[in-house]
Amino acid sequence: MQLARVIGNLVSTIKNESLEGRKFMIVQTLNENLEATGKPLVALDAVGAGVGELVFWCRGKEASFPFKRDDTPTDCTIVGIVDSDSHVYKK
């Protein structure tokens, strides 16, 4: 899992049938000092995150795990919301 900040949402008019009703968010990966690193990514939201929230996300096979045994085609999923920035170690 990695830390990110939700910086926007994405609307898709045509998508895979199994993604109907699911929300896409744009996330910016952060380092341990909560500074942006790398390029923003599109992530499928499994937890109801909103713009501005600090979240955990994962990639690869594990990204589909929050959707139980559904055939959900995702490679990047938001899997948790961090309730406070003070929970993150800062130098």
Q: Could you state, in order of their start, the residue ranges of all structural domains in the chain?
A: 2-86
Average pLDDT, the chain: 86
Taking only the tens place, the pLDDT of each residue in 19-33 is: 888 899 999 999 988
Below-70 pLDDT ranges, the chain: 61-71, 87, 89-91
**C-alpha distances out from residue 80 to 2, 15, 24, 57, 84, Å:** 10, 24, 14, 7, 12
- Looking at residue 12, its pLDDT comes to 87
Spatial separation of the C-alpha atoms in residues 7 and 25, rounded to whole Å:
8
53 C-beta neighbours (distance < 10 Å), count: 17
User: Which pair of structure tokens corresponds to residue 38?
Assistant: 């790398």
- Looking at residue 42, its pLDDT comes to 95
* Protein fold of 2-86: OB fold (Dihydrolipoamide Acetyltransferase, E2P) (2.40.50)
- Looking at residue 57, its pLDDT comes to 92
